[in-house]
Each structure stands twice: as C-alpha cells, then as structure tokens.
Structure 1
C-alpha cells in the first residue's frame, strides 16, 4: 500500500517561512570550481546578513514571533508538534529552495540510527508524490563510510543531491570522514566543506554537546535549518506549531488515557530475584536482582548485582528501597533475605502489584483494540496497537515469557466475541522488534560500531514493514517493542499505546504519544480527518493525574504551555561586585560582622514529650486496602484533562509484612526498646491493611515529632560559635557569571543572581524599596540537623529603626516541599539567627512583606 500525501495549510506556511528568509536571492546556476585538482559544484550566497535579518524579522512578524534583534548565526529553527509533518516540510523545503534559488547540496543530520532510518523511509515513500509536483530529478542516499562513491557524486554533481547521515558518523576524529582517503583532495570532510552544504538538523536538541556543535560547524554550511517539537535552544525561530494548536486544529489524534495504578503508593517495592550464584572472584554468594533504579533524572528497571550487607536504597538511588539491606544470600538453598524480614527465593518477585497492573493493562488493551478494530474495519481503517515492555526476558517464551503467555491467553479468551479475530491464532496477530546479538535478544544496544550495525538491521526490518502493517491482508495488528520504536518510527494507524515499562520517567510522555498521534489513513492510503475516529488511547501504569501532570511539565519545559513563543538562545551574563568589604555601608558591615560567624549546634530531645507526639501522630494514620484504580480520561487541547470514569479492582496476592521495628530503627535511629514501647500504644490494623502506605506515614510521624520537639522547646537545639568565619571575598567574589542575573542599582552587584521567578521579582522590588541588598549565594551555609541551609537575601531598610534583615522568599525553589525538610531547616535557622542577634523573616513573597 502506498500512502497518499497532500500539502496541508500549516505545512505550506512553514515552507513559505523558510523560502522567504532568502527573498532577494537570485537563482544560482551551479558552476564547477577546481580546488586542489578536485571538481566541486557547491552552494553560493549573494545575500548579506543585513538582508537576511530584514527577511527574518518580516517572517517572524507574520508568524507572531518575537523579532530577533540581530543575526547571531545562520541557524533557523522550525518548531512543529510531532505528527504534523515535520519531515514532509523539510523535504519539500529542500525542493522549493532548489527550484527558487538553485542551491543543490543538502545534508540531513540525525542524532540516531532510528531517526535516520525513519528519514530514509520517508524520502522513499514521498518520492512519487514529489516527482509529480516538480519537473527536476533529485537523488538522496544514506552516507556509508564503506562506500564513498556516493559522496564523490554529492561533491561534484550539478543536480539536486540530498545526503542523510547521523552525527556519530563524523563527529569524532577517528571516523572515515576525518581521515585522508583515496580520490579526495585531503579528507572527505575537507572536500565536503567546499560545497557549502545546507544542513537540515532533525531533533537538534540531541546534538547540543560542544563536540557535536563543533563538528556541525566544521561542515562549513551555507546555513542550517533546525526541526524539532522540543527544541532545547531557539536559534532565530521562524515558525512554530504548538501541541495546543495541533490538537485544537485536529492536525493530530485526540488523546485519551486509560490509567491503571495502585491506590495508595506511587511505587510498589519491586524486587525480582533473577540469579543467585557464587562470585568467581570473591568466592562468596551474590544475587542478581531486577530493581527500579534512578539513572540521572529517570527511573528505569535494571539488573543489579548484590552482595551481603548491600543497601538496595544506596545501590538504586531509589528511596522506595529504604530498609532493604541484605542480611543473607544463600546459594545452597537459593534465597536472599533482608534486614526488614523479607525473604525471597530464586525467581520469586516481591511487589506483585506491578505485575498485576501490567496484566490488567494487557487485558484492557486487547479488549479495546478488538472493539475498535471491528468498528473501523467497516470504514476500511486498520487498527494497530503498540506495547512498550520493561524487559525482553519478560516477553520471550524461551526466557521468562509471562507477558507473551498472558497476551495469548487473554487474546484467546476475548476473541470469541469478535468476528475479525475468532478464527485467528494468537501467534498470528503480534510481532516483536527487539535488538539482537549472537547471544540472543537484549534490552538496549550500546553506542559502538557493532551495536550500530545491529540497530540498522533492526530498523531495516521495522521500516520495511511499516506500510505493510496497514493492510488487512497482514494479520499482525499488535506490536511489541522494548526501545527499538521509541523514536524515528511512527504509524498513522496506531490507536493504542500500552506502557508496560516504568514510564513515570523512563520515556517522556511526548515521546510515547509521538508513536501514534499522526492522523490515521484508510486501506487506500487516504488520510482520515474525522476527529471521532482519530483518538489515541494510552494504557498507562500510573494515575491519570500523574500522566497529565508529567505531560504538562514537559510542555512547560518547552515554553509552549502558556501560548508564549520563545526565541533565541539564552546568553550568559556577567555581574561585577560594586563594593569591597571596607567600602560597605556601616549598616551592612555591622550585619556582615554577625552573619560571617560560623556556628555548631547541640541537641537535647525530651524523650517523654517525643513519645507522646509520635503516638498521637501514629494514632491518626488511616490506610485503605490496596487496590488497582482504573481511570479513563481525556487530555484536551489546553493540555490539561479530566477523568470521565473511575473504578477499583481488588488485588489477589499474599503479602509478607515487613519488619516495621527494624525499618524505623534503620531510618530514624531510635533504640528498638523505644520503638517497641511506642508501637505498643498504637493500633496496628492500618499497618496490616496496607503496609506500604503505613510505613511511609509512620516514618514521617517519627521524623516530624522529633523536629517539632527540638524546635518548640527552648533547649531542644542550642547554637554556639565555633570560632570560624566566612571570608567576604569567598562568599562574594569579584565577578558572577550566569544566565539568571537581574540588573539592579542597589544590590551588592550590578546584577544579582536569582533562582526562581519570585526571587527575580524580589530583586526588582528591592531595588526601589531598600537602601541596600545582597543575594546570599548557596556557598553561604548554616548547619542544621537536616543538613546545610542557605537563606536568600540580606537587606538594609531605609528606616534605621527597623535596620537589617535576612530574608527567605517563599517559592525560591519550585521543587521544595515547605511542609517537610525545608520547613524544619527554616525553624532551625531561626534559632541560629536569634543566637547571632540577626532579624530573620521567612515566607516572603514580596519586598513589601519585609
């Protein structure tokens, strides 16, 4: 089946914006130049930067974008929401630029093999469509370092040439492009530079490292066009189509979410015992566990090797594993036991909630798929479903394979109700795409030469079958993948995406949606524009609120949630300190003399009062029985959403209660005797009903009670000087550098650092309301029982009777939880400043509150 393409109005606007950047440019005729005996037919300029800037500003005005004040570079950004035809736009832009201006050398650069293969697939699919519109031929090819003949043609031919390559194919010094080769006057890159190619960067936010930027610049481009839905930096933005606009205009599928989550805890404490063996080096027993680990800003499921006394919390950097310290690994009886009392045998899984949720997701996805398949088959539209799994081993029958077994079992159970499926075997309706080495299938490939070749094989197979999947003659309608399809691949007829992996952060929501938001097509290749048909349902393993909030945060990070259109790159600023210590005003010198003293503290806990508070807090804890909550909702064009249906399912598994006393002892540091005395006064039925929820709230109760007693009693914490002092020049260096500096007249610097919008506003307000002020940097620290604390500002008021203050602004860090850690640090800081005889105010929203 051949997809049928049409140019849509929003695409025409984007293409026109690109072409109009060079209005006034005469059409060039490619003439050969000889460089060091090498014939080169390249691109050439006539327009200067002044003319291009005028064109750029006119295009920006027409598109409602803030005008660039200067042409920082010949880089131009186009922002288009995923699924709205970004690849179509830049391919047609190439053809338009060649037709109007005669520029004939273009390089499309991608950050990954997956995206490169997607581009090549699109070029092939669109060739017939564009050949019917343009009277000139054009060639495109994939750069291959083992076949440089195509590159030679690119350099010397006078026709339209398009080369597709990944950034990894040339950014390092040891790649073929950077080495002297036969048939080139120097290195292939040096020959390529002479053509002044026009660069198309697909997903440029993934090519922002210094090495990548330098390598791209070394290609000596005439100019660069940057296409993405999620730009990291905006270089002369010329066109934008936001997610909100795309949804409202019906350019992508509407988004529904079927959310399945556990009703009390965000994460069930998941531990899967994969292997227990004797380590060859240490000759001691070790265990390989599958755990949820923190990797940078993401939580992913990974195999981790564990030995005796290891803390799973430390190994994973994941707080859900508090109390999971290895007590024993027994390689003879094949079990692992933790200090919290939990014992697991080989192949046993703790955290059955996760598995039950995944099973329910598969069942729900099959049922919805079959129902929609029957409805849309009558309209000649085939329905596809995509599943992202957490581990290849969980799917493949030759390994664990429970997902494959559950899918087949549920398919056979449900198919009897649907004509299209009742006569089909489960094994005929699904395919999987996993990376494979000689040793077998794996979860992820590495970024090395051998694995890049394997990745290409995987994507070749996927891309070849992309359009085949749209045919009713092809029985496959369910697709399983681990990571192979997370970018570079989409299919217009994906109506259901089921996230069996840890998508709370492993894959970005927009990345997930991008695999299926494109408008559907019928079996003849025609686009379907009915909004009721074009609905993508995500079957998620988290609550609707979690999914919607994460999606909203991703849009906010791109600066498009409020309708604003950002432009240009943030520039680093420099601020200079205006006064030396001896030049400070008398008031600030007096304040600094107090502030610079470093202190230490002593704690004295009233145990009886502490026990009373803990018991009272524990008695107030209520828990609900653990259940799977099923929510169905819709994400609307404001990117927010609503829940239309909600119901709960009971869980079906036996749970071993953890050792509550040991957990509290480990986390809080109390004696077992005191913990047992406290728990003896408390009804533990809420703990039995839902241990995960109870433990979390009990630990908070023990911790909060301690800080309440220490801060409420006069002698709970006592500060004293330790004889050390902060040096003025160490806290306030001569020069500050940063992106977030606000100009001011009455600050210590000619621009003061800010960490939040509230701090930025406070600086502007302080500049007119105070005699003098200074932002206290993070290196100015006060010791507290909860670690170091840094206040925000030191201010001098005009009214001498009020004098000087240290100020904490409310919301100085949007990630702070003022109810817990930060609130207690502030309470301790008050004691510190009282000891130093310094006035201190917290929760300040405006300088008028000081």
Structure 2
C-alpha cells in the first residue's frame, strides 16, 4: 500500500481512521491488521520523518524491515546501496553541468564600465561582444557592441572621458580574453568598473536567456522543450502591487527587456517550425512565478516562517509547475521561464530544466549541489521518452548554471560540496585496504593476499602514483588517460585489468567530473587517425590541384538554349484576388477592436495576361548576360532564335521571364561544358592545413561522436548522412575516413565543388582506396538539379585526370551502395 505520514502520525482527538475500529475490518483497527502482516516499509525522503511522534507511529507498523531512500540522510543507518553524485554521472543518469560565471572586478582610478559577454570565432579575426556605455542624444546608455582589434572605446563611446586609453590590443579566443593598450584585461563573463547590484542581475538574466535560446535552437527539432529556472529571494522583485493592481517587478521587467532583445537576434525571416513557435508566444506569457498566494488578497507573497504553507492556494502557477508537470513539458504550453523562491521542495524536479540562474546573494547554508539539484534529471521529449541514448546523453543533457561569481569560484565550491558528499568512499591506497579484496578474472575470483596487496602498494609508490598521504595522485589518472601506465610486476601482470579496476575503487578528487565553462567554444580537434599511414596515402592521391579548359562552338550552345527555352519556359502571369465584404448586422466594441466588424462574403482570383506597363526600364540582354556569364551577342542570338509566342511572355511578367530564362540557359551551359571539359594537373597540391585553418563555430547538436574519423566528431546535415556516418564508423573494412573541409574543392565552370567524403579501406580486403563524392538521399538523376549534376560530372573527369586506378569517385545514397561499388 502507499500511504503518507499525515494518515497515521496523528493521535488523540485528531486520530485518523487507521487507529479506529471499523465495521469494514470486522471491528478491528486497520493498524492491527497491517502490523500483523509484518510489512516492509519503504520511506522516501526519510530525513523529513525523524520527529518523535512520527518515529513512534512508524513503530506501530511492526515492520519486518525498513528501507530508507534519500540523498541527504540526517541519521546514520545500515547502508546497503550507494548511488552518489559520482556514480550517477559516470552511469549517465544525470545531466552534465556547465557554468557561466560572472565576476565583478573594480578598475583602479576609473569608473569605465565594461562587460565582456563572449568572443566569436569566424573565418577572419575573432571579435568580442562587449557592453559599454555610449553617449547618446537621450543620455548615456549601456549598449552591446562587437569589437575588433584596434577599436578605440573613447571614439565608440562618443567621447566619454572614462574610456580614454582603452584601445583593443588583442582578442584571444583560446584564453577567452580581451586586452587593451593601457594594460587592462577582461575575461569572458567579467564586468569591470561601475557595476551595481542591479547591473549584475541584469547581466545574469541576459546570460540565462541567451543560454536558453542556444539550447532551445539545438533541441527543438528533437521534440525537447527547454525550461529555465530563476531563484529569487523576494516576491516583490518579480510581482509588485499598488492601487493600480498587479505589475512586473524589477526582475520581471529586466527579463522581458532582455528576452525581447535576444529574441530579435534569434528570429530569422525564414518560415521554419522554430520561428513559428517563437512567434506564437508573447513575452508576457512565456514566464510565470511559483509563490505562495495570500487567501484574502489573492496576491503572491513570500513564505511566512512558522506558518503552514499556502502554496496549494496558487491555482495557476502551482498547478502548472507541481501538479501538471506533463503540461509544462508540451510545446503548446507557453511557459518556458519560471521564477521561484530558492527553497523549492523535493517534489519540484522537472526533467527539462536546462538553465538555472540564482538572482540572490550567496547563502552559505545552501550547497552548490542543492542549487543545481533541481535541474539534473535527464530530459524527455514530447512523447515522454527519456533522452538517455548512451552515445548522445551528455550532448543533449547539459545543465547551464548562471552563477553570480566567477567560473573558478563556483567550480571550486561545487567540487568541495561533491567531495564532502563522497566522504564514505575509500581514499587511502595502502596495503591494508587491498588485503582481502577480490580480483575478478576470466579464470575465476582471486583473493588479494597480504603479499599481493603489498606488491600493489609498492607498484603505486615506485611510480609516484600515490601522494604523501597514500592517496591516489593526479599522475596516476593522467597516465591512465594517456595510456602510459607503467607495467605491473610479474606477480600482478596476469591480472592487470582487475588490478587497475581495484585501484580505481580508491577515490580522489581528480575523479570528480569538472563542470565545463559554458562560454568556451567547444572544440573538435584532430585525433590520431589523422596521422595514420592509410590516411596520408589517401591524401597524397587526392590532394593535387588541376586547371580546366573548355572548348565548344557557340552555335551548339545557342541551339541547346533555344530548344530548352521553347520547351520549358513558362512565365507566370500576374495574379490578383478580389475580396468582397459587408459590415456585420451588429457590431460590438470588442468586434471593432479585434477587426471583426466586417465579414467576407466572397473572393475570386484572376490573372492579368495583358502587357505589363511599368515605369521601370529593363535591360533584358544585359541582365541575362550578367546572370549567365555569356556575351551580349550570344544572349541576343538565343533570344532571336526562340519563337514569338515564347518571347511574348516577357511582356506579361518581365521579372519572372528573366529569372526563369537565366536558370534554363545556365543549365544548358553546364551541360555543354561537361561534355567538352578537360582537366590538367598544375603541379600544386592542397596542404594539410586546410583541416585546421578557418574553423567556424560548430553546432554540436548536429554532431556524431565517432572513432575512425580524423576528428572526434562529425557534423551532419541530414538523417541520411548521420546513418551513413554510423555505418562507416562501425565497418570493419574502413580504416579511416574524413568529411572534407570547404578548403578542398574542385574548380568547375559552374562554381567550385566540395566533395563530401574521403575513405581508406583495409589493405587486402579491397584493392582500391575510394573517394566518395556525395551521400545523396536519392540516386536518381531526376532528383538532382542540372547544375549539381554538372558539378558531379566535372568531378568525375577531375579524378580521372589526377589519380590512378587506386582512387575511385562516385555518388552513393548510403553505406550499402558504397560497399556495392567497392565489391
């Protein structure tokens, strides 16, 4: 049975039915019937059940056993199982933590306000997003600007004296710093100068909203709704009340201003599902408060110490956040940002909290683990399926904490809290600890004798793998990570794997997972596959450059273009719609305000097929010559060749005629070029630098973690590509492969062409090293645009000219087609 404490811990005149003699129980007391069965009690959050009356009531059940489940036991019991923070993380049962630290640093002798938000890396030099004060006609305002090297803040601020001498000397994307010629340096997330409490909170809110949008953009397509949680210390900072009624408090007002600013940056003109989703949510409805409600005034109030909670009176926010968790997870529910007191109870653990921001002074009684604990559950999608696939669990599930202190300070405090929570783990790697332990081997269990235990200890001591207190040293963890651990002595060598597993049971702070700095751009470094002989051999076969020549007769091109235009050029006439309506019989104020005082009675659509008279004069031949890169004489020959009926469409819609004619001519031009193109090697080659230079910021939501690629991650653009990558990576025939960077291209007359894949197969199994151009969803030439098809045909001729039979080029729609070509 499931029962709550209130059902049995009251006695006397408030006694519950469990202590009464009931007819339904044949005049017996339910507690007697239950206790006679000697039940097993499972207590959830037992630290809340340690009052004297509750403990006495629990004894009335005469339990056979009591199992207590808690992350924060107050009383020591006989522990039979442990799943602490370290185990939960290593088993991928909780989110990964990222931190956006914000530190305030004063500048001696100046009040120059500066806040370094982030550094953006592009193909050119990095730029810094910095907030500074600028003198405007309406006064001095703080504005976000993108700064480049040599920018003078005195000039940018319109002559504010406080910025004299602040000239950008360097922007370092590796260290996330900006330095000025006067010696001052800013680290990302650092605010300097005149930073008030209000300015700090605004920065935090801005960073939280920015982090929210970044996660939302990455997870929306996967059906995961992103929630952000703000902790504040007073209701008045979120909602305030006066004679006029309810209005936004300081933080709610800041939030709406920063939300609208970030929304303007995120929204694009494209008609995408995500853009439609954002347009459908008003700023005022996207945030909600979770606070107690005063029964009389129906206003949000701060918790009152010593009185019963009035949370259940908050019909809207409380029901939404606590009782209707599933509704909050749906995209149809507009609430995405939640404001609450920091003292949320254990029941509040919505899995889709991805951002936590604490807008209050640090409280030493609350640990960092408690602050982040409300957002550590793994997220779910719109179907309620948990996003816990092992390969991507910590790519999807990352909790960003926006702290009011520096990244370093927050991480130090979090590590201290986590380490304290792991106090029961063994920390001393001496002989006495190893003695009596069991090594699990293929031949069976082997008990560690005192002699073997001494050998393990001497091995650790000899190689400096333990410190002065016999704790595991960082050198051991580093050597294990790099695969350079010293060889074990002969007595232990046969059980090497089991010995290292036993050593790993000794805890050290180095085993704690460090939260990542959320501002640092994630990197995708080249790995050891890049240095494999097979990849070098493949690269040496395909890296040659070539020039092309094309020889064809103009009349041939003109004839093809005339034929194509006469067969395919269909210009759309101008369309117009006539809508008729009349005023409604009765018109209310609301109908007029909402634009419903008139109703449509009928509508019709027609086309204007007569000549289009316009004040605009078109240079038809000049426009087509520019779009097709042909001479005016050639374009004129094409237009003279088409019949009058086709050419007369120009008067109906000139813009559409020129656009469609240019496309058809370019397609025929591409066809003629492919038939007559020839490539000749130039003697030059692409260098391997193209794999490291000009790397743009990458979207890791589209990344696939791989083993045989030259980078740790592959970034894909479609499901077909992702499936292809996974099969490539699992193939035993593939030694190494690479998705080629944009710097590797084949010149063609219709634009540079960048192939997709270079793949090296196992020697002996396949006689060729294959170069795969494209992974198309369809192999049908009908589904490829003419220009694209022409580029592919050019690539075929390119590889025929520069490579031997050992390299092949082709187009595939998946791994199966690739292996068919290989075989």
Range of TM-score over shorter length: 0.3 to 0.5
Structure with the bigger RCO (C-alpha within 8 Å, sep 6+) is 1
Structure having the higher Rg:
2
TM-score (norm 1): 0.35
TM-score (norm 2): 0.36
